[in-house]
Each structure stands twice: as structure tokens, then as C-alpha cells.
Amino acid sequence: MEQRKNQGTEHLHGLLYAIDNNFEVSFTHHSYWKDGLKNRTVQPFAIKESQKRWYLVCHDLDKKGIRNFGLDRITNLKISDKKFSKYSFDVKEYYQHAFGVETYEPAQKIVLKFTAFQSQYIKSLPLHTSQEQVFEDAENCHFAYFMHPTHDFEMEILKYGEHVTVLAPETLKQTISNRIKDMMALYN
């Protein structure tokens, strides 16, 4: 049994009720990217799970756009009786090129080279639905993806350490290289 517990799951029932009935919700959200707490009023569409965390996918009335909020960082959840008209928003299509919940970079072709040993794991549990094997020999296996090269995916690449190399695009290759250099500096 997994020892790490999901947080924020106490909000699932209420949020699903609000989604099913098109009720606006309000809550306080703690962002890790920006200091402080922010009160939000949103029109919820869906709940999405990513890497053992649950997210509310919604239309943020203040930001006037699609946002997602980690349920583990939501407090003071209130379901209003104010209804909204359903949007023609396809959650599956919106996240089809995402690794996790981030979509702020344009989707593009990414090519990763894995060691032959590690590639066995990548074949048995693909990193993304777009995964395509494009090369294999006795030492390496290359996989191509079409996805957003976001922070979440960078962290996934780094997780594989010396068993993976970014071949394309050059911008992602440089980003990973810079992260590795920064990590090395911590140990000198």
C-alpha cells in the first residue's frame, strides 16, 4: 500500500456536486508560485488527477480564463446557489498534449533517448499517450512525444537521471542542461 496520502480529497464530493449542477464555487487558494492566499470564485468543469494530486479545472471569474487549482491548497470551500451556463469546453482535448496539468508552453515534438534498460520501463508504462518509439538498438531507445514542455515534464525527465537524454527540441535540451548544472553547483 502506498504510504503517501492525497490531501484535499475531502473537497471531491462537494466539487463533483457543483460540477454536476453548474453551481459556482468560491474558496481560498494558496499558490506555491505566488506569495499569500487568494480568494477565488470559479465555475467548475472537471476534476483531474495528476501525480497523486487532484485538481479542479474551472473558469476563473477574476482571471477570465481556464485555470486549475490543486485541491490540497484549497480551504474555505463554499458552493453557491448561483448557477452558470455550461461552456462548450472539452477537458480531454484541452489536456491532450499535457503532462500533468500545465499547458502554458506550446505543444511540440520532443525526442528522448533512454538507455536500453530504462526503455523497458518506458515501453511498459508510456510517459504520455503520444509516445512513439522511433529508434532502437542494443544500447538506446528513442521515443518521440507531442506535448507541452512544461515544468512538470522537466521534473519527469530529471527523475530518470543518467538514463535519459533530451535530443529535441534544443530549447528543452538546454533547459535540462542548465538545471543539471545548477544541481551540480549545489554539491561542489
pLDDT of 33 reads 75
Say what the pTM is.
0.86
Average pLDDT over residues 77-83: 97
| Closest-CA residue to 52 (of 5, 115, 121) | 5
Cβ-based neighbours of 104, under 8 Å, separated by 6 or more:
148, 150
What number is the average pLDDT over the span 121-132? 98
How large is the average pLDDT for residues 141-162? 97
Q: Between 34 and 25, whose confidence is greater?
A: 25
Domains of the chain, first to last: 9-90 (2.30.30), 108-186 (3.30.70)
**What amino acid occupies position 23?**
F
Q: Is the pLDDT of residue 178 over 80?
A: yes
User: How far, rounded to the nearest angstrom, does the alpha carbon of residue 133 sit from its chain's CA centroid?
Assistant: 23
Does the structure show a pLDDT above 90 at 185? yes
Residues 6+ apart with CB under 8 A from 73: 8, 29, 30, 31, 32
β-strand partners of 65: 60
Predicted pLDDT of residue 131: 98
